[in-house]
Amino acid sequence: MRAIDRIYIDGAFVTPHGEERFDLFNPSTEEKTGTVRLADAEDVRMAVAAAKRAFPAMRDTSPKERIEMLHALRDAVAARADVLKEAMALEYGAPQSFLAFSVPHAAHVFETAARTVADYAFTRRIGNAEIIMEPVGVAAAITPWNSNIGFICTKLATALAAGTSIVVKPSEMSAIQTQAVLEALHDAGLPRGVLNVVNGYGHVVGAALSESPDIAKITFTGSTATGRTILRAAADTFKRVTLELGGKGPQILLDDADLDRAVPHIVASAFRNSGQACIAGTRLLVPEHRLAEVSERLGEAVSRIKVGPPDDPDATIGPMVSARQWERVQSFIRLGRKAGATVLVGGEGRPAGLDRGWFVRPTVFTGVTNDMEIARQEIFGPVLSVIAYRDEAQAIAIANDTEYGLQSYVLGADIERMRRVARRLEAGRVVLNEAPSDSQVPFGGFKHSGIGREFGPFGLDAFLEPKAIVG
């Protein structure tokens, strides 16, 4: 049983002023694994004050000094890879495939940020003016549970690249993972107060950060509903805000697609991170005349997916993070049936052989229309909706008929045609045939999927203010 009873302020692990405790669970077994002592608004005040004290020295660091800090963080995270994997497996139930990606990724984001700093023009000239890209001020980060370690590292990396200090509020459901990554980050020996981490509830700690007059910038990843609340709270003090929110990504399968290649891509995009991914491609748009063959291939592929705990090396889908998330997915599967969609594979309940743990059956619905709730709402579990289309124009219209606009996918054989379709999609990112992306490529959403971009120079811009000195 773990008792997480410290937060991190001014370079030290300290006991929070807040006294409330929150239970932590292993989602693969439903057993309680520990508790976290939650911080309160007084702790936020202390953390923000520490970050504020650290800001002037951080603002004055050279790009070279920032790169050195980023490299130290990269090495510190890489050195603890085994501990981080263990924490993610215990508290999140991440399958081996996700662990193999996400822990190296958490170290790599510091390398990416260092590269961005090395190439970034922090001073520029326009006519008779010198433009200086200055850090915006003390930053706050609020992060979700579905990739806790990765989000903490990404947001810290960007803040340091910009030359600012940060207060991080991770999801209260990820306290064991937060503790593990924090011990690694502490080893990097950052100056005091540059990094502060405060566990706590969103409506307490998150709200206090959103309102604080000493925070100039909020970077948030989480649900669209919470993003809206943060945006409102941040307005009073004119905070700069980056919001990475939900998605309902379409995957457009063009009629010339080779199914041997496309079906594995479709399955990977729909079910990545056990379906608990904002970028999951959860609406599959299929040409009417290929529906029968696509359904057959998809049914076979999804019924072969192994669901199980992290210590099952063949499992590629793990449990949902909580009982609440499990119920949410079940209720959407029921909604899909009620609306008249057909369960091609999966359905309600647990997969065979798993009677404990918040495991769900990977589910594919056919006969879905884009007005059904399962096609409109972000389910955040392994549930894919198949929607038929007549022609390319209709596929694009259906793809764009959503409040979201985070990541879309196009699958086909003709690259020029896929690019033409991609240019018409309302999304911050469009992936062609599951191509991997360079880590500096901007990421973020159109419409209700967010505001601003992360990673590379676009991500760095969002932590900086241009100051023009004229004459």
Catalytic residues: 244, 278
Size of the site for ligand NAD (CB under 6 A): 29
Going from the C-alpha of 457 to that of each of 55, 358, 464, the distances in angstroms are 21, 39, 11
Nearest distance in Å: CB 471, ligand NAD: 42
Closest CA to 452 of 139, 86, 46, 199: 139
DSSP state of 316: -
Nearest distance in Å: CB 39, ligand NAD: 12
- Say if CB 419 and CB 432 are below 8 A apart: yes
3-state secondary structure of 404: coil
Nearest distance in Å: CB 92, ligand NAD: 12
DSSP state of 346: E
- Say if CB 172 and CB 199 are below 8 A apart: yes
Q: Of residues 406, 425, 430, 462, which one binds ligand NAD by CB under 6 A?
A: 406
Indicate whether 202 belongs to the interface with ligand NAD (CB under 6 A): yes
Nearest distance in Å: CB 391, ligand NAD: 30
Q: Of residues 29, 97, 223, 377, which one binds ligand NAD by CB under 6 A?
A: 223
* x-marked contacts with ligand NAD along 137-176 as a string, rule CB under 6 A: -----xxxxx----------------------x-xx----
The count of residues in the chain is 471
What contacts 24+ positions apart, CB below 8 Å, involve 79-84?
79/184, 79/187, 80/180, 80/181, 80/183, 80/184, 80/187, 81/107, 83/180, 83/183, 83/184, 84/149, 84/177, 84/180, 84/181, 84/184
Indicate whether 229 belongs to the interface with ligand NAD (CB under 6 A): yes
Q: Which is nearer to ligand NAD, 310 or 445 (CB)?
A: 445
Indicate whether 206 belongs to the interface with ligand NAD (CB under 6 A): yes
Q: Of residues 12, 42, 126, 203, which one binds ligand NAD by CB under 6 A?
A: 203
- Say if CB 348 and CB 304 are below 8 A apart: no
Indicate whether 222 belongs to the interface with ligand NAD (CB under 6 A): yes
Q: Two tokens at 211?
A: 């309102």
Q: Which of residues 231-290 bind ligand NAD (CB under 6 A)?
A: 244-247, 278
Indicate whether 380 belongs to the interface with ligand NAD (CB under 6 A): yes
* x-marked contacts with ligand NAD along 440-459 as a string, rule CB under 6 A: -----x----x---------
Residues 6+ apart with CB under 8 A from 243: 220, 227, 230, 231, 445, 450, 451, 452
Q: Which is nearer to ligand NAD, 268 or 301 (CB)?
A: 268
Binding site for ligand NAD (CB under 6 A): 142-146, 169, 171-172, 202-203, 206-207, 210, 221-223, 226, 229-230, 244-247, 278, 378, 380, 406, 445, 450
